[in-house]
Amino acid sequence: MDYNSIETALMEPEEKELVEYIFRVIPDQDRGELTGDDILLVLDLMDDYLEEQGLLSENPETGEMEYAEGEVDETAQLDYVLAAMKEEGRPISAVQVQLIQDAELQYGIEKGYYEEE
């Protein structure tokens, strides 16, 4: 994976681990021209969607981001991410976004951040 960009160079170690995990999980035939920066942007957009839905917010006391209880409409989140990526001029397929969503969830389950349903 290319880490020469400013975006990936400034990542926190845990964020870098997540991006590397997702990159490894996506099959080569589905990866196409997908970069670490694309994955990072998709993850940021997924969080933006959650914030807009009131499911993610910053704790004013700690400054940490906290997830609220609630259901995520993955289809709406997918549409949100695809529209934003198109607006950014970064082509990505719905399959690639779905694979990133699925890999992020699996990573979270493995790390104990999420419970398996």
**Residue 102: per-residue pLDDT:** 93
State the Cα–Cα distance between residues 43 and 48, nearest whole angstrom.
Answer: 9
**Residue 21: per-residue pLDDT:** 95
**Residue 3: per-residue pLDDT:** 45
Check whether 98 has a pLDDT greater than 90: yes
Find out whether 3 and 36 touch, Cβ atoms under 8 Å. yes
Per-residue model confidence as pLDDT tens digits over 39-95:
999 999 999 999 999 988 888 888 888 878 888 888 999 999 999 999 999 889 999
**Residue 104: per-residue pLDDT:** 93
Q: Which residue has the higher pLDDT, 13 or 78?
A: 78
Find out whether 22 and 39 touch, Cβ atoms under 8 Å. yes
What's the mean per-residue pLDDT of the chain? 86
Half-sphere exposure of 96 (CA within 13 A, CB side): 23
Average pLDDT over residues 18-38: 91
**Residue 77: per-residue pLDDT:** 94
**Residue 7: per-residue pLDDT:** 59
97 Cβ neighbours under 8 A, 6+ residues apart: 42, 78, 81, 82, 85
Q: Where are the domains of the chain?
A: 6-111
